[in-house]
């Protein structure tokens, strides 16, 4: 599993399973209809198509981050020098280590702008819960991060969509979403979708009425082996 996404809800977390064979996500359904659903997507590639993944330089890293006084949590898990991040994610955990059902907002969850780590910020109503962030790391020669963004209107429910495409000939291995102020710091709002698609990464979101909010899509792109 090299990437995972989720949508059709107010997303609170997207994270890989511990053995990287799948992913889990949590969110608040956008509709109370009987057929409302949370969609989860995973992307998979053979090891032979991902430079460095089949070598001894592939590793995974996980770190835990604690709440501030307002219930927000933010963290970055960095890869070793010479490697780049992919297939990561984050989720809220109870003090007993179980997946949280109280995490109610995700403001960022994706590869960092320089491609060397995984970042997430979110909010849980329980101050005792922690944010656990995981990423995979591998050399990925020639990889780069594509970005695209769109301003979000102050209208709290006006949804926008943005797509960060890879350069033609490159393959998207992973990506993510970032709600940002104009100075680059995370901003509150709502992430509704964060998915792989069309050789890039597609995200949608709303501002919840917070001013100076832009929706950023990021895609980790690389030249396939062979």
> pLDDT digit string (tens) for 104-143?
799 999 999 999 999 999 999 889 999 999 999 998 888 9
Instruction: Give me the pLDDT at residue 54, please.
Output: 62
Residue 31 confidence (pLDDT) above 80:
no
- Give the pLDDT score at 56: 58
User: Rounded distance, CA 81 to CA 71, Å?
Assistant: 32
d(C-alpha 177, C-alpha 188), whole Å? 13
Tell me the per-residue pLDDT of 207-224, one tens digit each, with 9 for 90 and over.
999 999 999 999 999 887
pLDDT of amino acid 57: 66
Residues 155 and 77: their CA atoms lie apart, in Å, by 33
**pTM beyond 0.85:** yes
Query: Which of 11-25, 51-65, 93-107 is the most confident on average?
Result: 11-25
Return the number of other C-beta atoms located less than 10 Å from residue 149's C-beta: 16
Residue 34 pLDDT greater than 80, yes or no: no
**DSSP sequence for the chain:** --EEEEESEEEEEEEE-TTSS-EEEEEEES--STT---EEEEE---GGGSTTTTSTT-EEEEEEE---TTSEEEEEEEPPTT-EEEEEEEEEE-TTSPBPS-EEEEEEEEE-TTSSEEEEEEEES-TT-EEEEEEEEE--TT-EEEEEEEEPPSSTT--EEEEEEPPTT-EEEEEEEEEE-TTSSB---EEEEEEE-SSEEEEEEE-TT-SS-EEEEEEEEEPPP-
Tokens of 57: 């330089």
Does the pLDDT value for residue 197 go beyond 90? no
């Amino acid at each position: 599993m090299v990437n995972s996404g989720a949508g059709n809800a107010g997303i609170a977390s997207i994270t890989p399973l511990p053995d990287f064979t799948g992913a889990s996500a949590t969110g608040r359904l956008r509709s109370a209809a009987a057929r409302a659903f949370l969609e989860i997507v995973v992307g998979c590639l053979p090891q032979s198509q991902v430079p460095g993944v089949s070598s001894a330089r592939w590793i995974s890293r996980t770190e835990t981050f604690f709440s501030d006084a307002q219930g927000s949590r933010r963290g970055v898990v960095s890869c070793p020098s010479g490697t780049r991040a992919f297939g990561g994610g984050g989720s809220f955990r109870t003090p007993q280590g179980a997946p949280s059902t109280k995490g109610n907002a995700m403001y960022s969850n994706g590869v960092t702008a320089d491609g060397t780590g995984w970042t997430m910020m979110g909010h849980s109503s329980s101050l005792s819960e922690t944010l656990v962030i995981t990423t995979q790391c591998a050399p990925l020669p020639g990889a780069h991060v594509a970005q695209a963004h769109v301003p979000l209107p102050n209208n709290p429910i006006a949804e926008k969509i943005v797509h960060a495409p890879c350069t033609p000939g490159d393959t998207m291995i992973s990506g993510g979403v970032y709600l940002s102020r104009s100075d680059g710091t995370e901003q509150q709002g709502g992430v509704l979708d964060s998915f792989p698609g069309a050789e890039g990464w597609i995200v949608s979101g709303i501002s919840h009425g917070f001013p100076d909010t832009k929706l950023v899509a990021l895609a980790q792109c690389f030249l396939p082996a062979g």
